[in-house]
Chains A and B, each alone.
Chain A
């Protein structure tokens, strides 16, 4: 079984291609190249592959196949869900509710809605990055067209109270969009939502495949020009081989996570426990219990995030950071800012499937020295 290269701890950005995806992709490249909208033999074979992929994804997600649409990315699925949900309910109002810690694709769609004259309420989070369902419910208004809540946070792994918020939205008769990019394939997402988005490369599928789920009886209207593809939901020629590979990877990855998820969660617990013991002035952030199995984030005081990432890369570890100093934007991570925790010296470790515990041991062994070297280099004498 192939797995991620040693020291690859950035699964939350992208999971390495699953072997099942590779096999399905190669087969479908030869058998699923034709236009699934046509009526001749090769086209019907492509259509069958696409529909089988749709059925497989629907099965894992616990929805109907005709509620699943393939998009060209997770980001496109988010944009279509948010903008299409708002457009369908313009008569109800132009108010959108999101949380402060949503993925930037949700927040950017919200900004576009604002520029178009809409109104946005951004619900805050506690120190663990978790939304209070009562606070979220209080943000809902009679003119709220759509509410958005991530299934779990992409930077700190905190799981959000989707079931409670879905119940509040149902009571207020407001559709709920769930960005489930970090959860799908790793955990089951609670039901009760109206639309959902996911991204195949997060579960070992190929990049460039997103999944948009629109439940029956949900009002949705495309924000884009009409196109007959994907049940008129997503414009453009479907990438049949990639969709087939995404479905195969999801099936295999989800099955493996039944055993690997608890193992990864235990490794994350070890990191959560050990880092504050071996590195002074460190804050582990995110909910310690209600969290995804594979993500742990900590911030090291007095260290520049980018310098720490470069040093860890030199030592053979690929990790990510929400630090201000690494981001292209020169702004601190909006997630860490909303949680009111240290935004510099931030390290996100996210474990891929099959990660070796010896790799985690090696990481824990080199981290203290790496941090103290950088602190001394920055002129710290007290740390």
Chain B
């Protein structure tokens, strides 16, 4: 899955992004080729695969495992229960975590959440 392979390369992007910009500032078109380096689309430090699981399982796994990543990093939850589209952002509001974005996958969605505390 495209999403996971991104997750495995998480150490590299930030530095490379800066180098790319310094080396080729005249080519802003290169930026979309490196989406994992985009500050608005940070690479997840942890991917929780809850595909095929009904809510509240994706939320339970998210709540249980978000402590595995450092504060400020992003966790991605993969889920295909449509209830997760409401429940993940609602959980973030209730628990004061930052809901970064929802990404549509071939099957289900990837929900990106930044750990705030």
Contact = CB atoms under 8 A, between A and B. Distances in A.
Interface stretch (A6-14, A47-55, A182-190, A375-383): A375-383
Contact of B60 (A324, A331, A336, A380): A380
A134 to B, nearest CB: 25
A216 interface: no
A347 to B, nearest CB: 14
Nearest to A379: B60
B90 A341 contact: yes
B63 interface: yes
A325 interface: yes
B79 to A, nearest CB: 12
B81 A324 contact: yes
A344 B64 contact: no
B56 interface: yes
Contact of A342 (B54, B82, B87): B87
A344 B83 contact: yes
Given A340-B89, A343-B87, A302 B60 contact: yes
B83 A343 contact: yes
Interface in A290-318: 301-304
Contacts of A283: 90, 94
Interface majority SS on B: helix, strand, loop or mixed?
helix
Interface size class of A (residues with CB under 8 A): 20 to 34
Contact of A382 (B64, B83, B86): B64
A345 interface: yes
A303 B56 contact: yes
A339 to B, nearest CB: 9
B86 A345 contact: no
Interface string A351-364: 00000000000000
B59 interface: yes
B64 A342 contact: no
Interface of A: 281, 283, 301-304, 324-325, 331-332, 336-337, 340-345, 378-383
Interface of B: 54-57, 59-60, 63-64, 67, 81-83, 86-87, 89-91, 94
